Amino acid sequence: KNQVEQSPQSLIILEGKNCTLQCNYTVSPFSNLRWYKQDTGRGPVSLTIMTFSENTKSNGRYTATLDADTKQSSLHITASQLSDSASYICVVSAGGNNRLAFGKGNQVVVIP
Amino acid sequence: DAMVIQNPRYQVTQFGKPVTLSCSQTLNHNVMYWYQQKSSQAPKLLFHYYDKDFNNEADTPDNFQSRRPNTSFCFLDIRSPGLGDAAMYLCATSRVAGVGQPQHFGDGTRLSIL
């Protein structure tokens, strides 16, 4: 069964600080990995998408990394802002039919 | 501008009373998906349409049905909602059902069952 595990489940950080979220997956065959940001009461919004050959991708203050050998990804948030408070969901695409395996998300709370 | 629009944002229905959730898209995407997301859980795919072809997930209860009358609209029908069906329902689209195609999500409909 395809699985995506995220850690930590939740964390609280001070505004302006950095944080790193982890995603481990066992999805096979691997196609791509996406990080989504989901604000409370809203739908997920795509932050980054990486294929097998990509190691890192940035979107503003968000930087995602991928190690396809160890099946690990991370999302680094630089200089956090209050608006970064959200759930960050790691989603791995398996095979060629766009079937997605979702993690449960990292709940981030940024406090002033 | 919203590209995947779900209505209503909040829906309250009675136990056993049929309810319909709607989704529309302005992206002209071929594929539309319905997910169920319960609190602190990952979204769970219920079914999807590739154009007019309906694809049901094996573990989606029979209580859940879907209609796609045209490219732009897709509906989720819950025939006899139970208390366990209270959740956020997310609609998503993708241009095609292929590798690397991003899914664009709506803001969801939060369904409550009385």
Mean per-residue pLDDT, B24-31: 93
Q: CA separation (Å) from A13 to A79, B17, B86? A: 10, 44, 31
CA distance B101 to chain A (A): 7
DSSP 3-state assignment of B48?
strand
Over 60: is that where the pLDDT of A9 sits?
Answer: yes
Which segment, A40-49, A79-88, B43-52, is predicted with the most confidence on average? A79-88
CA distance B13 to chain A (A): 19
pLDDT of A52 reads: 83
Closest CA to B48 of B71, B66, B64, B70: B66
More confident residue, A41 or A11: A11
Q: What percent of chain B has pLDDT over 90?
A: 80
How many contacts does A have with B, using Cβ atoms within 8 A? 60
Per DSSP, B103 falls in state P
A60 contacts: CB under 8 Å, gap ≥ 6? none
Burial A19-39 (b: 16+ CB within 10 A, else e): bebebbbebeebbbbbbbbbe
| CB pair distance less than 8 Å for B107 and A32 | no
φ, ψ (nearest 5 deg) of residue A51: -95, 180
- Mutation for B interface: A39, A98, A100, A107, most B CBs within 10 A: A98
Closest by Cβ to A44, choosing from B45, B96, B105: B105
Over 80: is that where the pLDDT of A99 sits?
Answer: no
Over 70: is that where the pLDDT of B23 sits?
Answer: yes
Does residue B21 contact residue B110 with C-beta atoms inside 8 Å?
Answer: no
φ, ψ (nearest 5 deg) of residue B85: -90, -5
Closest by Cβ to A104, choosing from B41, B99, B100: B41
Does residue A79 contact residue B80 with C-beta atoms inside 8 Å?
Answer: no
Half-sphere exposure of A56 (CA within 13 A, CB side): 5
DSSP 3-state assignment of A84?
helix
- Mutation for B interface: A100, A108, A109, most B CBs within 10 A: A100
More confident residue, A84 or B95: A84
Q: What percent of chain B has pLDDT over 70?
A: 94
Distance between CA atoms of B8 and B3, rounded to whole angstroms? 15
Please list every residue in chain A whose beta carbon sits closer than 8 Å to the beta carbon of residue B41. Answer: 104
| CB pair distance less than 8 Å for B107 and A96 | no
Distance between CA atoms of B54 and A94, rounded to whole angstroms? 20
Closest by Cβ to A32, choosing from B44, B97, B100: B100
Mean per-residue pLDDT, A16-20: 97
Distance between CA atoms of B88 and A17, rounded to whole angstroms? 31
Over 60: is that where the pLDDT of B100 sits?
Answer: no
Q: Which residue of B has its CA nearest to A96?
A: B99
Strand order across the B19-25 sheet: B4-7, B19-25, B73-78, B64-67
Please list every residue in chain A whose beta carbon sits closer than 8 Å to the beta carbon of residue B96. Answer: 98
